[in-house]
Amino acid sequence: MASESNQSVYRATTTAPVNIAVIKYWGKRDTTLNLPTNSSLSVTLSQKSLRTLTTASCSANYPTEDTLNLNGKPQEIQSSKRTLACLSNLRALRKALEDANPSLPKLSTHPLRIVSENNFPTAAGLASSAAGFAALVRAVANLYELPQSPRELSRIARQGSGSACRSLMGGYVAWRTGELADGSDSLAEEVAPASHWPEMRALVLVVSAEKKDVPSTEGMQTTVNTSELFATRAESIVPQRMDAIEAAIRDRDFPKFAEITMRDSNTFHATCLDSWPPIFYMNDVSRAAVRLVHDINRAVGRTVAAYTFDAGPNAVIYYEEKDSELVAGTVKAILGANTTGWEGAFYEKLTSVTAPGVALENIDSRVLDVLKDGVSRVILTGVGEGPITVDEHLVTETGEMVSQ
Ligand code: DP6
């Protein structure tokens, strides 16, 4: 809710979560509207571990240009088409409200001051654009008191960064590719809330990359334009997988969910390798994580863990809470309890675990050293809720930035 102070500085603050796709978005059919070539599906991760906090404020007294400050640094928004697209869409919706109700303050004419912070270190190598654009859109929508649903706002967040549209909701979220040329039906929707399957856990293995990866926006265009495998994935593989993973989520069928997740990550990276010139996001440490998961599953005799990789070498391993010792306990034994990140809301039950849940003789011996040397930190988290409105403003009542 926006609040008015003496100097008429209006403010609204929200948090927004990170999401990790299990059916990957990779490829655009329209780069201006940021429309995808295929639907995708993700798990929203808990904000107890990872979140962006954003305050949107506006005032007739602010200098003329909109400003955005991210993690203490002013951003060049006038040259960021994506940010400008989000802000102009949100302003247009506010303007429509003001036109319909002349008693409303004309916030659409005020310059915006937006301040945003991530609670996770940039060094974690996690793509923060999804949480960042979701928080920006949610915060400005709250400031403007827009009646639009998260689903409708996802149309705007999508233009900031495709994956951001899925961070406007909690739990299990699909982004439907849509059919219309204007993109009006390319929206995110909740497939199931976090409470439907709250036992889902995610263990992020943060792998340090020597070189910066090809940014996803650029990488996916290379794939669309050059990979022969790509069209098959987008047109025939993903639609079937979307149906199958939605059924697995509905039935809380982890082995099915896990197999589709792993296969889709592999297919996505196969299209990267099939691009020309080829793109490599996974490295030796990533591949060791793949082996580890398959070895754990084989040793246990059922599928208890699933890996997935985005446009970088970090592994995200999904598992269910009941299998924490088998999965996270084994990873903890391999990396050592001193690795940064064995802490937080989801760690409690693992505190006393020192022995691996799966005897290390079952794991390919080459994997152990590669992981120990190559994983710089872990983030232990789980499925969580969508954006949350909070009172912890990053802009004071008089419009000053709060220094952290
Ligand atoms: C591999 O959402 O970062 O993480 O729309 O160009 O900003 P832009 O791309 P972005 O791509 C994410 C790609 C991915 C898969 C996914 O999250 O679905």
Q: Decide: 170 and 131 in contact? Cβ < 8 Å.
A: no
- 127 C-alpha to ligand 1 centroid (Å): 9
Confidence check: pLDDT of 129 > 60:
yes
Domain span(s) for CATH 3.30.70.890 in the chain: 200-382
pLDDT band at residue 106, thresholds of 50, 70 and 90? very high
Run of H or E residues at 152:
helix 150-160
- 33 C-alpha to ligand 1 centroid (Å): 14
In eight-state DSSP terms, residue 403 is P
pLDDT for 314-361, tens place per residue?
A: 999 999 999 999 999 999 999 998 999 999 999 988 888 888 999 999
If one residue of 216, 222, 307 were mutated to test the ligand 1 pocket, choosing by the most ligand atoms within 8 A of its CB, it would be 216
34 pocket-lining for ligand 1 (C-beta < 6 Å): yes
Architecture of the domain made up of 200-382: 2-Layer Sandwich (3.30)
Run of H or E residues at 142:
helix 129-143
Work out which ligand 1 atom sits closest to the CA atom of 310: 1
Q: What is the ipTM of this complex?
A: 0.99
- The correct answer on CATH 3.90.1170.40 for the domain covering 10-193 is no
Confidence check: pLDDT of 190 > 60:
yes
Q: Decide: 341 and 393 in contact? Cβ < 8 Å.
A: no
Domain span(s) for CATH 3.30.230.10 in the chain: 10-193
What average pLDDT score do residues 108-132 get?
86
pLDDT band at residue 187, thresholds of 50, 70 and 90? very high
The confidence score (pLDDT) of residue 6 equals 44
- 163 C-alpha to ligand 1 centroid (Å): 5
Work out which ligand 1 atom sits closest to the CA atom of 40: 18
CA-CA distance, 187 to 383, in Å (whole number)? 21
CA-CA distance, 294 to 300, in Å (whole number)? 10
161 pocket-lining for ligand 1 (C-beta < 6 Å): yes
